[in-house]
Amino acid sequence: MAGDPGDAPEVGGGGIRSVLTTASLVAPSGDEFREIDGKIIGLYFAANWYPKCEAFTPVLAAAYEQLKERGAGFEVVLVSCDEDRPSFERFHGTMPWPAVPFGDLSCKKRLSERFQVEGIPRLVVLAPDGGAVVHPDAADLVHRYGERAFPFTAARVAELEADDQRKYASQTLEKLFSVSGKEYVMNSGNNEKVPVSSLVGKTVGLYFSANHCAPCIKFTTKLAAIYSSLRGKAEDFEVVYVPMDREEDGYLRSCGDMPWLALPYDGAPSRALARYFDVREIPTLVVVGPDGRTVTRDGRNLVNLYFDMAFPFTDAQIRLLQEAEDEAAKEYPRSLRHRGHRHELSIVSEKSGGGPYICCECEEQGLGWAYQCIACGYEIHLRCGQNAEGGSAGTA
């Protein structure tokens, strides 16, 4: 959860106008907007230039529109962190709610200081009467639950989290796809419908990706090679593309690059699964085991680290791979010089200063064991140091 509502600063009485001290709000059209009294207010601190705000805004907009349809008495007010008026107007134009006028710097400053805003996106939820803080940052809740998070109280959050635990405990593959509203997936090669029931008993990777995302395109190539390798070994492994594309053309291009199955292009089912697994960034690979339970939400990292050896992605398999790495590391030189760096590199493990890194030689992900320059932060995989010049065994 993004924060504990009990830790939020209290706001005194006087109604919401005691908090929103601006003379008037501005609608996306540029017209004056005054209809906020008696509503729960979400102060949305965001900026056009920050990718996380760009990604969160449509998620918040979808929840906002659904709450409007329900007549839920909820309003969002943008408190822009943009640096110039054209950027503010472009960003605000993508939203269905009002904003503090760009030129009202004193109001924006007071709000940022009052609610101790240090990072964005931030969604501060205020009660309709005295303007007391209901939740100091409900962005996380909107990501996870959408409009169901309303009215964002501690009691509502507890209900949702208890419901999550019940769903995860009884999860099956069929129930997962019922979340998305689909009983079938598509063969991305010929568009034939494939019943979800045919996937039961297999290890299934749910691949959240999009054609407009450069890291997704890179990872798709790697995942496709691993998919082909595992299928060639007759492993019961399948991948289902969960499209996060902005338009259908992008979805079709994505499917053209993928040898596996796909959900039909429809934003609602993909958003439902993304919300269920709390997917915040793409690409993401969630792995579901033969029993229909979630094995890992970290499939992308495991594929990057261990390739097809990660299958079936269980904790037991990853422990075996890590133990094998620990044993193999005993045979590597304790230090060496690498052609890509001027300083000597020393071998490190996760226990002695190693951690997640991007290899400076092959630009692939690494974890734990590495050759590292302590002074510069230069790191390479052990395997990428095998052909280095000037390696020496050093001391253990």
- Three-state DSSP at 372 gives strand
Same domain as 130, residue 254: no
Q: How many domains does the chain have?
A: 3
DSSP 167-222: HHHT--HHHHHHHTT-SEEEETTT--EEEGGGGTTSEEEEEEE-TT-HHHHHHHHH
Same domain as 262, residue 237: yes
- The answer to whether residue 395 is domain-embedded is no
Q: Where does the pLDDT of residue 228 fall: very low under 50, low under 70, confident under 90, or very high at 90 and above?
A: very high
Query: Is 348 in contact with 378 (CB distance < 8 Å)?
Result: no
- Three-state DSSP at 243 gives strand
**Statement: residue 284 has pLDDT above 60:** yes
Regarding pTM above 0.85, the answer is: no
Same domain as 81, residue 53: yes
Same domain as 154, residue 43: yes
Which tens digits make up the pLDDT trace of 168-205?
889 999 999 887 677 889 988 788 999 999 999 999 99
- The answer to whether residue 221 is domain-embedded is yes
- The answer to whether residue 9 is domain-embedded is no
Same domain as 273, residue 176: yes
Which tens digits make up the pLDDT trace of 46-102?
999 998 999 899 999 999 999 999 999 999 999 999 999 999 999 999 999 999 999
CATH of the domain at 340: 3.30.60
The type of residue at 141 is L
Same domain as 267, residue 244: yes
- What mean pLDDT is reported for the chain? 88
40-46/74-80 β-pairing: parallel
Same domain as 139, residue 33: yes
Tell which of 267, 294, 319 closes a domain.
319
pLDDT of residue 387: 59
Phi, psi (degrees; rounded to nearest 5) at 190: -130, 5
Comparison of pLDDT for 114 and 393, the residue scoring more:
114
Same domain as 346, residue 206: no
Same domain as 351, residue 231: no
* Tokens coding 383: 């395997």
CATH of the domain at 90: 3.40.30.10
Same domain as 361, residue 261: no
Same domain as 374, residue 274: no
Tell which of 259, 286, 319 closes a domain.
319
- The answer to whether residue 393 is domain-embedded is no
Same domain as 342, residue 309: no
- The answer to whether residue 237 is domain-embedded is yes
- Distance separating alpha carbons of residues 369 and 346, to the nearest angstrom: 10
Q: In terms of residue numbers, what domain contains 369?
A: 332-387
- The answer to whether residue 301 is domain-embedded is yes
* Tokens coding 282: 């793409």
Give whichever of 260-274, 286-300, 329-343 has the largest mean pLDDT.
286-300
Query: Is 339 in contact with 388 (CB distance < 8 Å)?
Result: yes
Tell which of 287, 319, 351 closes a domain.
319
- The answer to whether residue 327 is domain-embedded is no
- The answer to whether residue 340 is domain-embedded is yes
